Amino acid sequence: MTLQVEGMLGSRRKASGSGERGTYIRIVVADNQRLFRECVAGMLEREQTFTVVGQASNGLEALELAETYKPDVLLMDVQMPQMDGIEALRRIKEEWPQIRVILLSAYTIDERVVEGLSAGASGYLLKDSSAEGVVAAIRAVYAGEQVMTPRATGHMMQMYGQEPEGQIAPATGLTNREVDVLMHIARGLIPKEVARRMQVTEKTVRNHISSLYRKLDIYDRSQIVIYAIKKGLIDVRDV
């Protein structure tokens, strides 16, 4: 058992004031590679509004820490011993749906990662993401967004293929603005960034996203990207 709690760079001091949501973003890091896990935890602790309340080396330990600390965000490797990240994610979302989970992987996106996104993960990051990218992703999911790096989105597009140009189904009933929003989402942008690029309000973007979900009869970001790829609404070359 290698579960570590409140262990690094003053996290015990910071966590003592983290009982109320908003004081600190409380994080658990779950990865079976100790060096990687501790480096990530140390990097996150340097952020003044972050506190790492625990580290886990497998899915079972991640479940224990989720139950004990109810962290705001859980960074979790997809492939771990005893219980992998996908199964741990399912159980965590069943018991504590408020916990935001970001999946980590050293590999290009595959069926397991898509399975995890559909099971409720708030995002997916490659393990060679920059420190700034990881920090930004944590802040985004804490704010209720979903995150996926553009490179990961590109891998998803390549995996699912694309119908030839000209086969965009008019039956979807999407407006030009909705298609624009969809393309931005596929590139990994959050609503605030989409709003800035389209020069509209964030509320307008969110309304378009809700309309996309309703018209396409899908309910999360991974499904909307997969659908768009298959229908030719977005192109791998756009990523």
- The 10 Å CB-count burial string (b at 16+, else e) for 3-18 is bbbbebbebeebbeeb
End residue of a domain, out of 148, 168, 184: 148
Same domain, 183 and 75: no
Same domain, 38 and 103: yes
Higher per-residue confidence, 234 vs 159: 159
End residue of a domain, out of 115, 148, 181: 148
Position 34, amino acid: R
Tens-digit pLDDT profile for residues 79-100: 999 999 999 999 999 999 899 9
Under the banding of pLDDT at 50, 70 and 90, the label for residue 116 is confident
Give the pair of three-digit tokens for residue 44. 């996150």
Higher per-residue confidence, 114 vs 48: 48
Tens-digit pLDDT profile for residues 136-195: 999 989 988 878 766 666 666 566 655 544 444 455 688 889 888 887 876 666 788 789
Domain hosting residue 209, numbered range? 156-238
Report the percentage of the chain scoring pLDDT > 70. Answer: 69
| Distance set, CA 152 to CA 47, 63, 186, 236 (Å) | 25, 26, 10, 11
Residue 84 has a pLDDT of: 92
Under the banding of pLDDT at 50, 70 and 90, the label for residue 124 is confident
End residue of a domain, out of 113, 148, 183: 148
CB of 181 closer than 8 Å to CB of 212: yes
Residue 191 has a pLDDT of: 82
Residue 6 has a pLDDT of: 41
